[in-house]
Structure 1
Amino acid sequence: MIARFLLLATVASASIIASSAHAEDAAQPATDTAAQPTSPRGEVIIVTARRRAETAQQVPLAISVIRGDSIEATGNFNVVKLQQLAPTLQVYTTNPRNTSVNIRGLGVPFGLTSDGFEQGVGIYVDDVYNSRVAAATFDFLDVSQVEVLRGPQGTLYGKNTTAGAINITTNQPTFDFEGRAELSVGNLNYRQAKAAISGPLSDTVAARLAVAATSRRGTLYNLTSQRWINEQDNLGLRGQLLFQPNDDLNITLSGDYSRQDPECCGTTFVRVGRTQRPLARQYDAIIAAINAANPGRNYAVPSRNPYDRLTDLDSSLNADNKIGGVSARVKWDIGPGTLTSVTAWRFWDWKPENDRDFTGLSVVSRSQNPSQQDQYSQEFRYNYDGEKIDFVAGLFGFKQRIDTQGTEQQGLDATRFSLSPSVDPANPYNRPEVLAGLTASNRQYLKSSSAALFGQLSWHVNDALTIQPGARLNYDKKSGFYQRVVTNGQGQVISCTPTPPPGSDLAAQCGVYQPQVSAPSDSAWNFTYDLNVNYKIAPDILAYATYAKSFKTLGINQNGLPLNADNSVNIDAGTVKPESVHHYEIGLKTQFWDRRATFNITAFRTEIQNFQATVNGGQFGTVRGYLANAEKVRSQGIEADFKVVTSDRFTAYANAAYTDAKYKAFTNAPCPPELSGGPSQPAGTTPDYSQPGVPGAPSPRQCDISGQDLPGVSKWAFSYGAEYNIPVTLLAKKGQVYLGVDGNYRSRWNSNASPSRYTEVKGYALTNFRAGFRGEGFDVFGWVRNAFDVDYIENLQVAPGNTGLIAGQVGDPRTWGGTIKFSF
């Protein structure tokens, strides 16, 4: 670890030559900003990470601060794109609902999203908690800055988060009239427009209105529908009213609405891997058998090279996504402190359509699970600032309900794709009508509520030493309901109890969809705490150490339950234990060269017992993914952030992260595809892993994946940027001609909960350039992203049924365009 620490420090220090999105990693405590010397560009970064305004380099936390102008300049216009500027942030998405936002490899189980568990990374917009990560896929709307807080955040934030928080601050109403407009166009029919206007309505009331719209042609061509899919189609609106009757009181009313309606989110063929299924029941043999049974059809995927960007998905695709809400924030200065109240209601309306077999065959002809969510939250917080003592104390309440109505239906090719072959003409395998039209209709709801008392105290022992203890008392209650009704092609309701005779039509149907009813419910109290000790070694050198005992509350499985070996429902999988988190961190924050250069470095270790993991048992239609507890997980690593402003002409930054995230103990995990699909090994014997990918070999009942890497985590990640400008006068306008570059690198990672040789995603590096002319009130520039047209994969998925099919989503190709911005 010491060697890695030194290596990373060397890499970060040497990276001045990189690019400039101004992705300033910082974290700092309260001081008089007027006394802060400024850099040649006069930058003093103010953050609200600790629920008070303070300068960044003195907060004893690891924080990435990304300014709004940096977000716009680099084209990172949502949380999904933001990871290109913040290396320890990992965001993976197959659609807005199935989006994973992790920090340091932790936060949310990688894979299919379930409503029954909490997010480990909280997303806050103007102090309002957004419970669903679908918000991560929307465009940033009139954003001032984004703070990415790394590590547990439970004693300062309303909703407890075990991995970190993304704190988004929007531009607020002003009593000076101002406005801005921005228009971007590019290849792939890219169009983006943004506008905001703010000003006084009276001496005590100000208003702000912002709008943003983005559209772009898709990057994957569907030969079946003969159109490009995975497009962008976003619209966002935000309005704010500020009432400030005096200097001690201000009330802000906010409302926002965002909509997405793209034809999305399809996959393309990536590869086929051998499993332990009989060879005749693996992907290539299944396709050959289907073609043999349908003379003249001769089905084949459009291309076996994913970077040809071709697919032939035959089911309807849609990702209709609406999110919005209203909030009231009251800030009242009372004596030496400030009382803040944040009241909010938010909604989420999700209407998806997917192709779940990932092919142009009619295996799963319909797959859709529309959801409607309402959430209510109330937070009271009091901030006190004294000479020796500062503290934050708060109360938080949260209530949520999610309703989901699901439909999944089998198509004409389902019998030959899903059933074992037979020469008997009467066998279900030879009669498409046995599975064609078989429909699972799901109805589910989740009720979730939580309440918390939290606080943190800062004791300034002397001018250099500060001790910060914090504590949280939390109560959570969850109750859910899930019902699946199965009907055959004639619309008749089927029952799988008692177990139907093998080889019968009913047995074939129950092997694909089995009726289920479950109503999991649980509640839990948790008490957690943390302690931070920080010491100012010199005026511009801060050292700190943190220990946090945190938790992620209990979970319930809301997407249906897995089956036991006898095809019965595993009721025991209905609830999932809370995570228990121990977090250790040390850091050093420095500024030098008259504060023109900033270098911060952090080392951390997080241990989690009863880690909530999303697993996949490989069953085709019963359940795609469900929650289970891994006995122990550990994430440790080092992060380094460097920025230099040599003059008004040149600025550069480089951020680096090494993350070693592993299952320390997960002894009963589902097996990866290469160890699945064969006859089960005898119960009670030591699992044999010696024949991966051998057709017909016995498959372990569970796999011990202890010591293997967590999914979705790159060991190494870097981001960098630089910008150089020259003052000029152009067309009688004084300004600067500038050239900027920014980029990021991520090493390989695995996209299956049980790491598989078939789902390893190769590392990649992306580079972006921009050049333009800016002056007072305007900025005109051209840009190219993924300038070297690097081929890379964003996500890989294992197709259900253990056929060996691996599908994926490819990253954006080279894109280019121009942007013009005006402000007044």
Structure 2
Amino acid sequence: MLAHFTSILLASAAAVPAPDAPAVDAAQVQADSGDVVVTARRREERAQDVPIAMSIVDAGTIAQTGAFNVNRLQQQQPSLQFYSSNPRNSAINIRGLGAPFGLTNDGIEQGVGFYLDGVYVGRVGASTFDFVDIDRIEVLRGPQGTLYGKNTTAGAVNISTRAPSFSPEAKFEASAGDYAYYQIKGSVSGPIVGDTLAARLSGSLTRRGGTIYDTTSKKYLQKLDNFSLRGQLLWKPSEDLSFRLTGDFNAQNPLCCVQYYARVGATQRPLNRQYASLATALGYAPPSTNPFDRVTDLDASINSRQEMGGASLVGDWDIGPATITSVTAWRYWDWQPANDRDFIGLPITTVSQNPSQQHQFSQELRIASNGKNKLDYTFGVFFFTQRIDTQGSQVQGSAASRWLLNPGNVAVGASGCATPTTAACNPLTLQGLTSSNTINFDNQSFAVYGRLNWQPIEGLHIQPGLRVNYDKKSGFYESVVSIANARYNFVATADNAATLLASGAATADQFNTLAPQRYSPRFSEWNVSGDINVSYDFTPDVHGYATYARTFKSGGINLSGLPLNSTNTAVDLTTQTVKPESVNHYEIGLKTQFLDRKVTLNLAAYWDVIADYQATVNNNAINVIRGYLANAGEVQVRGFEFDSSFRPSQRVNFYVNGAYTDAKYTKFTNAPCPPELAGGGTGAVIAAPGTPGNSPASCDISGQVLPGVSKWAFSFGGEVNQPVSGGQVYLGYDGNYRSRFSSNPSPSAYTWIEGYSLSNFRLGYRKDSFNVFAWVRNAFDQNYFELLSTQSGSTGLIVGQPGDPRTFGATISASF
């Protein structure tokens, strides 16, 4: 049977095919039988027996649905959210929690752990590779700090690749489609020295033409250009001892990631400083005001080139009552971007990019009991060190002064400026203004963790867990601001900025746009996390559980620049660090199978209260692109999830999974204001939203929703098949739905992304290990946005990143 998306709160539910049914691969039979074996608790267990809210995607599902990266994966996971304006500025959230919504700040932790063959990946950007030769993906929901190396408060994505085999095998898969799309995947494995040493080599190549046309460069943007290679050696000197050495390399060089004109909303800037007047004054019009025409006019370089890879050595030693595991790993990530951060075809911000290089080393050592005993245990020690070096730059163009600065009481005509007598009307005020940033980040983490599984009576399991964690972070941030044109010529540092202002060599308008500053933040802290899980096996196929966890997300340091102090004379050093998040997590769940495991219905309900939530705030300077991090008072996330699968016969199967998520700020009094309350002057009398006048310095958004979280999300689908010539003809469908969600840290009338539904179909034939099918994705060509953002400067321009249009193609695969 075709492998479908299989939840572990779901785990699928059917018997192995009858003897006369066409043969399928072992992984597929395992997924369909409800006996999926997972390692979520650091030991092999049947999925449905694990008292954790989690889901599985197997290799067959990845191939059938085209879920070859994390972005595609979220379409099948109602509780998973993935947002990316480019690989560096990416976030993986589960149940609405994980990382603050907005541009990345190097100095904080992610709340969702990403693991590749047991190795923690320290940056979300380094997780955007294509899935190659995957065995399964486990998505764990809720805190996992007493089971996993790195403390994670929202969940974990655990990817397991296929291990080397001592039996020769090979697998090949090729896909082709419109937009000049093609993808080739392959793997070979077999013994090198008898049953002692085996090897595996896997690779993937993905290409696709762009879906968005840039009228300036005459190129199609939003391409795919990915290459992945993985090699493995498995050495088994004895039945009880094994070592798995892995090396991988991944390169991506697409022309992405593109955001452009979506709509315009009124702000509190003077009317002659809002988008419509500015565009008229500069004689500008976008190539289309319909973003789904998929055309733009970006006038700066666009790219998101990155390399990532690493090496790991995993050793397992079965000593009888327990297994000792060591995971030693080194990984790197090299990010070389190019962006157009004003999002339109005017020279406003002509360069804004942050090339980054990350290197990490981790060592984990743990012991886990074998078998099912009255008392089972897992204990571990984890060490992690990370270094990030970033070379940021931002350059303002000839239109920056007019677009970003206030022309004051200058006579306003069609051009907006009668004469260039003010800073805003003189292009030389900002033309060529450059910020060169040097950012360094060092991060060390050490933890001791463990969990017991005590069965005082048959079927009752009491599982307490504890984690002691130490985190130390240090960083350096320096912004050097310079300009050289016919009017201004200086190089400003944190040391000489005041002197330049006093002499008139530099202006406050320039330093409010790009501020010279230098600081060296530090953070270190111990914390103790704990959880307790109580579960009961009512029958072999009915399991209930309840969990309480008290856990922490490590504090961090701000590495995107700091706001100025109350007198605007220096940076506010009190904002260098951000406090840890503390999470109280409550959850109950029920996992059931019935009708001879032909039906699975699993339920979970949870309630999370997060104190000192790490959020993005602004620094009251309207011209900056990035904000900084601060602690919101409290966030509350509660909801329920269900996962269900039905297999009434060998010919029919289908599934429905859903999540309701109520995520809101219960206390956030110093939040950034939405665009309709931004961009105005300062004063006691605040103008109405979208009306020129004074703006509040910050906004109280207590009670409002968190960004990026749909209240309702579903995935659903199924398959019917018919035996033909010793094989099967099949028709499959996979769909998903998300209700509307906010795409701004503070909810705005202009940045709601309306709900949408995507439908994918496939029609194919399979026999034994051969499979060929045609597919269409986003079959009804649904127009939708993945993200909406505001243009810096509070002009009212809202830019969007559209999702992929309808695509079609075919895939063929075979195993030998």
Q: TM-score category by the smaller chain?
A: over 0.9
Partner of 1:153: 144
Partner of 1:300: 285
DSSP-derived class of the 2:130 partner: coil
Partner of 1:400: 386
2:583 to 559, 581, 592: 581
Q: Any conservation in 2 of the 1:740–1:770 contact (CA below 8 Å)?
A: yes
Alpha-carbon distance, 1:700 to partner: 1.2
Query: Any idea what the Cα deviations from partners look like across 1:50-90, whole Å, max 9, x if unmatched?
Result: 00010011100001111110111011111111111110001
Alpha-carbon distance, 1:245 to partner: 1.1
Partner of 1:522: 523
- CA 1:40–1:636 in 2, change beyond 3 Å: closer, same or farther? closer
Partner of 2:130: 139
Question: In 1, Cα distance between the equivalents of 2:324 and 2:737?
Answer: 43
Query: Any idea what the Cα deviations from partners look like across 1:465-495, whole Å, max 9, x if unmatched?
Result: 1100000000000000000001112463035
Partner of 1:616: 618
Query: Any idea what the Cα deviations from partners look like across 1:315-353, whole Å, max 9, x if unmatched?
Result: 111101111000000000012000000000000000011
Alpha-carbon distance, 1:443 to partner: 0.3
Partner of 1:692: 689
1:355 to 330, 333, 340: 340
Are 2:490 and 1:492 equivalent residues in the alignment?
yes
Partner of 1:211: 203
Q: Any conservation in 2 of the 1:586–1:602 contact (CA below 8 Å)?
A: yes
DSSP-derived class of the 1:816 partner: strand
Question: In 2, Cα distance between the equivalents of 1:782 and 1:471?
Answer: 50
Alpha-carbon distance, 1:45 to partner: 0.8
1:47-446 residue pairs with structure 2 within 5 A? 47-203=38-194, 204-291=196-283, 299-385=284-370, 387-421=373-407, 422=410, 423-446=418-441
Partner of 2:513: 512
Structure 1 alignment gaps of length 5 or more: 1-18, 292-298
- CA 1:248–1:616 in 2, change beyond 3 Å: closer, same or farther? same
Tell which deviates more after alignment, 84-93 or 427-436.
Answer: 427-436
Q: Any conservation in 1 of the 2:34–2:597 contact (CA below 8 Å)?
A: no
Alpha-carbon distance, 1:650 to partner: 1.4
Query: Any idea what the Cα deviations from partners look like across 1:219-241, whole Å, max 9, x if unmatched?
Result: 11110011110111100000000
Query: Any idea what the Cα deviations from partners look like across 1:569-615, whole Å, max 9, x if unmatched?
Result: 22211100000100000000000010111110000000000000122
Q: Any conservation in 1 of the 2:674–2:747 contact (CA below 8 Å)?
A: yes
Q: Any conservation in 2 of the 1:20–1:721 contact (CA below 8 Å)?
A: no
Partner of 1:16: none
Number of matched pairs: 783
Alpha-carbon distance, 1:23 to partner: 1.6
Question: In 2, Cα distance between the equivalents of 1:414 and 1:141?
Answer: 44
Partner of 1:549: 550
Alpha-carbon distance, 1:290 to partner: 2.0
Alpha-carbon distance, 1:28 to partner: 10
Partner of 2:24: none
Aligned partner of 1:375: which letter?
Answer: Q
Question: In 2, Cα distance between the equivalents of 1:593 and 1:535?
Answer: 21
Aligned partner of 1:368: which letter?
Answer: Q
Question: In 2, Cα distance between the equivalents of 1:22 and 1:454?
Answer: 35
Query: Any idea what the Cα deviations from partners look like across 1:640-664, whole Å, max 9, x if unmatched?
Result: 0001122221111110000000000
Q: Any conservation in 2 of the 1:28–1:55 contact (CA below 8 Å)?
A: no
Q: Any conservation in 1 of the 2:562–2:619 contact (CA below 8 Å)?
A: no
Aligned partner of 1:392: which letter?
Answer: T
Query: Any idea what the Cα deviations from partners look like across 1:499-546, whole Å, max 9, x if unmatched?
Result: 837998622221211101011101000001000000111221101000
Query: Any idea what the Cα deviations from partners look like across 1:660-718, whole Å, max 9, x if unmatched?
Result: 00000001111111111112233xxxx95x7110112x211211100000000000000
1:594-633 residue pairs with structure 2 within 5 A? 594-617=596-619, 619-622=621-624, 624-633=626-635
Partner of 2:733: 741
DSSP-derived class of the 1:284 partner: helix
Question: In 2, Cα distance between the equivalents of 1:427 and 1:108?
Answer: 41
Q: Any conservation in 1 of the 2:248–2:309 contact (CA below 8 Å)?
A: yes
- CA 1:197–1:607 in 2, change beyond 3 Å: closer, same or farther? same
Partner of 1:718: 714
Question: In 2, Cα distance between the equivalents of 1:147 and 1:40?
Answer: 13
Q: Any conservation in 2 of the 1:738–1:773 contact (CA below 8 Å)?
A: yes
Q: Any conservation in 1 of the 2:351–2:396 contact (CA below 8 Å)?
A: yes
Query: Any idea what the Cα deviations from partners look like across 1:427-474, whole Å, max 9, x if unmatched?
Result: 333322221111100001000000000000000111111100000000
Are 2:449 and 1:454 equivalent residues in the alignment?
yes
Tell which deviates more after alignment, 175-184 or 610-619.
Answer: 610-619
Partner of 1:639: 641
Question: In 2, Cα distance between the equivalents of 1:605 and 1:744?
Answer: 24
DSSP-derived class of the 1:134 partner: helix
- CA 1:209–1:620 in 2, change beyond 3 Å: closer, same or farther? farther
Question: In 1, Cα distance between the equivalents of 2:638 and 2:480?
Answer: 45
Query: Any idea what the Cα deviations from partners look like across 1:257-307, whole Å, max 9, x if unmatched?
Result: 10110111121200111111111111111112223xxxxxxx201111111
Partner of 1:531: 532
Question: In 1, Cα distance between the equivalents of 2:369 and 2:406?
Answer: 69
Question: In 1, Cα distance between the equivalents of 2:31 and 2:298?
Answer: 55
Question: In 2, Cα distance between the equivalents of 1:20 and 1:205?
Answer: 32
Q: Any conservation in 2 of the 1:616–1:753 contact (CA below 8 Å)?
A: no
DSSP-derived class of the 1:646 partner: strand
Partner of 2:25: none
2:6 to 14, 24, 28: 24
Q: Any conservation in 2 of the 1:793–1:809 contact (CA below 8 Å)?
A: yes
- CA 1:450–1:93 in 2, change beyond 3 Å: closer, same or farther? same
Question: In 2, Cα distance between the equivalents of 1:120 and 1:389?
Answer: 30
Normalising by structure 2, we get a TM-score of: 0.94
Tell which deviates more after alignment, 58-67 or 413-422.
Answer: 413-422
Question: In 2, Cα distance between the equivalents of 1:681 and 1:78?
Answer: 49
Partner of 1:4: none
Question: In 2, Cα distance between the equivalents of 1:658 and 1:747?
Answer: 10
Question: In 2, Cα distance between the equivalents of 1:21 and 1:103?
Answer: 24
Alpha-carbon distance, 1:20 to partner: 8.0
- CA 1:21–1:223 in 2, change beyond 3 Å: closer, same or farther? farther
Aligned partner of 1:152: which letter?
Answer: P
How much is the aligned-residue C-alpha RMSD, in angstroms?
Answer: 1.9
Alpha-carbon distance, 1:407 to partner: 1.3
DSSP-derived class of the 2:787 partner: strand
Question: In 2, Cα distance between the equivalents of 1:416 and 1:668?
Answer: 30
Question: In 1, Cα distance between the equivalents of 2:459 and 2:611?
Answer: 36
Alpha-carbon distance, 1:42 to partner: 4.0
Q: Any conservation in 1 of the 2:10–2:602 contact (CA below 8 Å)?
A: no
DSSP-derived class of the 2:68 partner: coil
1:803-814 residue pairs with structure 2 within 5 A? 803-814=795-806
Question: In 1, Cα distance between the equivalents of 2:532 and 2:679?
Answer: 49
Question: In 2, Cα distance between the equivalents of 1:438 and 1:744?
Answer: 46
Partner of 1:5: none
Query: Any idea what the Cα deviations from partners look like across 1:768-802, whole Å, max 9, x if unmatched?
Result: 00000001121000000000011001100111111
- CA 1:20–1:681 in 2, change beyond 3 Å: closer, same or farther? farther
Are 2:458 and 1:472 equivalent residues in the alignment?
no
Question: In 1, Cα distance between the equivalents of 2:669 and 2:327?
Answer: 44
Alpha-carbon distance, 1:559 to partner: 1.0
Q: Any conservation in 2 of the 1:435–1:489 contact (CA below 8 Å)?
A: no
Question: In 1, Cα distance between the equivalents of 2:619 and 2:789?
Answer: 14
Structure 2 alignment gaps of length 5 or more: 17-28, 411-417
Aligned partner of 2:512: which letter?
Answer: G
DSSP-derived class of the 1:315 partner: coil
